[in-house]
Amino acid sequence: MKHRAGHVALVGRPNVGKSTLLNRLLGQKLAITSHKPQTTRHSILGISTQDDGQIVYIDTPGIHQRGNKAMNRYLNRTATSTLSGVDLAVFIVDSKYWTDEDEMVLQRIGNCGLPAILVVNKIDTVQRREELLPILAKLTERTGLTTVIPVSARTGDNCDQLQQAILELLPEGERFYPEDQITDRPERFFAAELIREQITRRYHKELPYSATVEIEEFDVQPHIYRIGAVIWVERDNQKGILVGKGGLALKETATEARKQLEIFFQTKVYLRLWVKVKKSWSADQASLSRLGYSE
């Protein structure tokens, strides 16, 4: 049996389901998700190991045209730079929409000269399956890609077939990581991400892009993790929203975040959260770097 191994970039515009697809392909939650675009801010490596191969997936921020802050530039650089170091691109699009940002992603894949698979996601939202064939035909013509696989990352439809197609396009070789390793990110990274996920989901209208999380305490003890984190926002009124009257809103966020942390780490978690203001942190390159936003 041939053993294949390689690195695969999951790329696309914001909100096409890249992180949901990564979680589905890995069979466990690794990347945070929400309905808000640009939830993913870092490239996240997820490792899928089978008897006949190892696929090293790299989930990336959505490539986009909107905004010109330092954060926007960082997100686009992170996603685009990933394409230069992989064996295969998985280009994910929404089954119902094609935008200028999709075209932008397609051009960047073409510029890298990478082999690519087109994944048409969210087929569960297509009401009648007979409508799917013309959608696939149109996208095949538009992208020029010959391998096109319709999937639903939400329900898992066709995801096994996608994983097999990916594996067949990777070079022969030995695995890069031990078979029981799932990622190369440290635990404190995921602690920050899971806390930020709750903020993004709870306050997606009020402060979707103005909050980030910095872990200040991460103490692993037998049977319990003690975690202390600062939520950074850009304005005083945003701090007021997060804290809430009598601190109630922050307590509710902490409670839900703690539950998700306990599921992820499979142990009890003691969590403390603070909210602090740093003016325009998302527009300042030095602040971004200090808060962990660096390639």
What number is the average pLDDT over the span 206-220? 88
Crossing angle for the helix pair 18-26 and 159-169, nearest 10 degrees? 90
pLDDT of residue 73: 84
Beta pairing partners, 5:
54
Token readout for 23 is 């979680």
**Token pair for residue 66?**
């909107």
User: What domains can you pick out in the chain, each with its CATH number?
Assistant: 4-169 (3.40.50.300), 187-290 (3.30.300.20)
| Residue-averaged pLDDT of the chain | 90
Q: Across the beta sheet with 268-277, what order do the strands follow?
A: 212-221, 224-233, 268-277
Supply the pTM of this predicted model. Answer: 0.90
Distance CA 128, CA 40 (A): 31
Residue 85: CB atoms within 10 A of its CB come to: 10
Residue 3 CA: distances (Å) to CA of 115, 160, 169, 225: 19, 18, 12, 38
CA torsion sign for 172, 173, 179, 181 is negative
- The tens digit of pLDDT for each residue in 62-93 reads 888 876 778 888 888 888 888 888 999 999 99
Are 4 and 170 within 8 A, CB to CB?
yes
Cα of 24 vs its chain's centroid, Å: 12
